Amino acid sequence: MVDLHYLIGSDLGTTATKTGLFDEEGNLIALARQKSNLIYGKDGSVVQDPYEMLSSVVETVKEVVEKSGVSPSSILAIALDGQMAGIMGVDESGEAATPYDSWLDVRCAPYAELMREKAEELIIKRSGMAPSINHGPKILWWKKEQPEVYQKIDKFTVPSCWVSQKLCGLRGEETFIDYTYLHFSCFSHLEDGCWDRELMEIFEVEESKFPLIVKPWQVVGKIKKEWAEKMGIPAGTPVVAGCGDQAANNLGAGVVERGTAFDVAGTASCFSLSVDRFVPDLEHKTILFPRAVLEGYYYPMAYINGGGLDLEWAKDEFFREWAELPNAFQLIDEEVEKIVSSPSSLVFLPHLRGRNCPGEPYFRGVFAGFSWDHRREHLFRAILEGIAFEYAYYLSIIRKLLPEINFQEVRVIGGGAKSSFWNRIKASILRMPYVELDREEFAIWGSALLAGFGVGLFSDLKEKSIHSVQKIKTHFPQEEWSAFYDNLFPFYLDTLEKMGKVFDSHKELFS
C-alpha cells in the first residue's frame, strides 16, 4: 500500500486567514477560513493583533486536520504566506513588540515623502520600488514617533514569518524574513538578497533591527509541543519559511516561466508578469519589481487599489434590482453585453480612492467622453475597460524595460476570473489570450508547494508548479474590439495624465 503524504498551506490575508490541507498531487482535501480583525484608528492607523493572527492559524490548522480525517502523522510540513507591505516588531524573546502595522495604515505617509526626497532613485535601483506605505517609512515612523517602543524592538518582520517563528519557539535573534518581501523594505539590495548598508546609513537605521534573510523553502524550525497539541498535528512537524501572498499566488498558479502574465482580479486588481531579469522602473516609478519564489525570476507588478470595489459600487448603484442576488454579476454581464455589444468612446479612470502605482493619493475616479447617448450599461462596460486600460499601461512600461520578452498569455484568478465578458475585454485590450485555471485556492497551494519542496517531497519546484494546474478555458482577443481599443488607449492615457495634474492642484478637496 502506498503511503499518502499531506501538506498544509496557510495564508494570512487582509480580510481572512485561510488554511488548506493538500495531498501531494495538489488536491485540496480540507479548507478552513477565519475572518481577520482589522482595528481602525482615527489617526489613520490600521492594525491587527499578532496574537489573534497566530490564533487564527492554529485554529484553522486544527479545523482542516479534523475535517480531513487524515492521520496527523502523514502531514509532512506546513508553510505560511501573508500580507506583504506591512510590518511588526519582535522583541529579544521572540514576542510581538508592536501590533501588526498594516499596509492599510497611512500614518507613515510623511516618512514615505521624506524617503522619496532623500533617496528615491537609489531605493528604486536597489530595492525595486519607490517608497510608499511600506516597510521603510513604517520603520522610520516607529523610530521617530514611538522611540520607547522602537528601543524594545529587536527585529522587524512580517506576520506570516513571526507566526512561524512563534510556532517553532524561535528567539528574537532568530527572526527571519524570506526574500520575496524585500522590495517593500526600502533597505534591501534585491538582486544580492541582502540588506543595504548605504541606505541604512542615509536614514540612520540600525542594521541590527533587520531580520535574517532566508529562502522561501528553507526549513526554519519544528512545531513545538504546546502548539502541536492545539493544532492536532505531531510535535516536530517541520515549518518551512514560506513567502509573500502574491509570490505564493504566482507559484500556485504555475506562473513560473518567462513571458507569462498574471491577473489577480480581486479586491485589489493586480497585474504582474514573470521575467528573468531585474530592471527597476526608474523612469515612471510605477512598477514594483519583486523577487519571485524561484531564484533568478522576478514578477514586475502594479495594482489598482480597490479595482474590484469599483465593480461592487457600480453593481449597488446602477443595478440595484440585482445587487443582492448571488449571481448579480453574471446577470449584469449578460445585460451589458446585450445592450452594449461594442465599445464606445467612453473611458473610466478606476482610481476611486487614490492611485497607488505611481503614488497619487488624491486621485479620484473619472468618466470621460460620455453623452446623453450613454446608459448605465455603457458606464459599467467602461469600468471593466478602465481596469484593463490601466493594465495596458503597466504592460507598456514592462515592454519598454524588457523588450526582448514576448509575453504569451495572461492567467487570471480571483472573483473577476469568472466573467467571460470581462476576460474577452481584457484579452482584446492587451492583445493577449486570457486563461482560466482549474483551481481556486492558489496562495495556500503555493505555500503547500513550498512546504513539500522544503522537506524533499518534490525534487523540482518549477516543474511541480507548472504541472499542478491546468488550463480550462482560453479567451482570445476580438480583432474588431482590439482595433477600436488601440485608438481609444491614447485618449485614456491623456485623460489619466491631465486629470492627475488637476487632482494634485486641488488636493485640499480630497485630503
pLDDT score at 511: 67
Share of the chain above pLDDT 70, in %: 99
Please check whether residue 16 is in contact with residue 63, taking contact to mean a CB–CB distance below 8 angstroms.
Answer: no
**Which pLDDT tens digit goes with each residue over 84-128?**
999 999 999 999 999 999 988 889 989 999 999 999 999 999 999
Residue carrying the nine cell digits 510581538: 96
Q: Tell me: cis bond preceding 358? Omega within 30 of 0 counts.
A: yes
Phi, psi of 339 (to 5 degrees): -80, -40
| Degrees, nearest 5: CA angle 1-465-34 | 85
Q: For the residues 397-414, what does the mean pLDDT come to? A: 95
pLDDT score at 14: 87
Measured torsion, CA atoms of residues 465, 469, 470, 476, in degrees rounded to the nearest 10: -80
**Which pLDDT tens digit goes with each residue over 334-366?**
999 999 999 999 999 999 988 888 878 789 999
Q: What is the pTM of this model?
A: 0.92
Count CB neighbours of 71 within 10 A: 12
User: In this structure, which amino acid lies at residue 240?
Assistant: V
Give the DSSP letter of residue 399. H
Share of the chain above pLDDT 90, in %: 90
Q: For the residues 419-448, what does the mean pLDDT come to? A: 96
pLDDT score at 469: 95
Q: Is the pLDDT of residue 1 over 50?
A: no
